[in-house]
Amino acid sequence: MSTALVLVSHSEKLAEGLAELAAQMAKDVTILPAGGTDDGRIGTSFEKVQEAVQKARSEGQDVVLLTDLGSATMTVESVLDFLDDDEKEHVVFAPGPFVEGAVAAAVGAQVGSSLTDIVKAAAAKELFA
């Protein structure tokens, strides 16, 4: 099963820019930015994150979520709380540095690493933690 990344940032531009950067090293990986609020302000959106997760899952992909700041993590935790129990094994939060973690996770997904190894790579900032 392939793995998609959802990048949750307070800034729409930051999420989009990081998705562009990570895609340079992982051209076959689905990387979905979920930045900013629904009305374009700085902040996070439960709906944007949930929609990105649902999009990746509808394509049969596992999902790794990465966040930029604490309240983005709270948004991700809320999305995770609403998942069915069987979905929770396919959608995970990867704590760690946003930029370096996203790039490491993207590379791990590109080479077909397991979901567990991708999360470890994101947290450790390197592919083989």
Instruction: Point out the catalytic residue in the list 3, 4, 9, 10.
Output: 10
Q: Which of 119, 95, 120, 108 is nearest to 29 (CA)?
A: 108
Contact between 5 and 15 under an 8 Å Cβ cutoff? The reply is no
Active site residue 90: no
State the Cα angle at 81 between 80 and 84, rounded to 5°: 85
Active-site residue numbers? 10
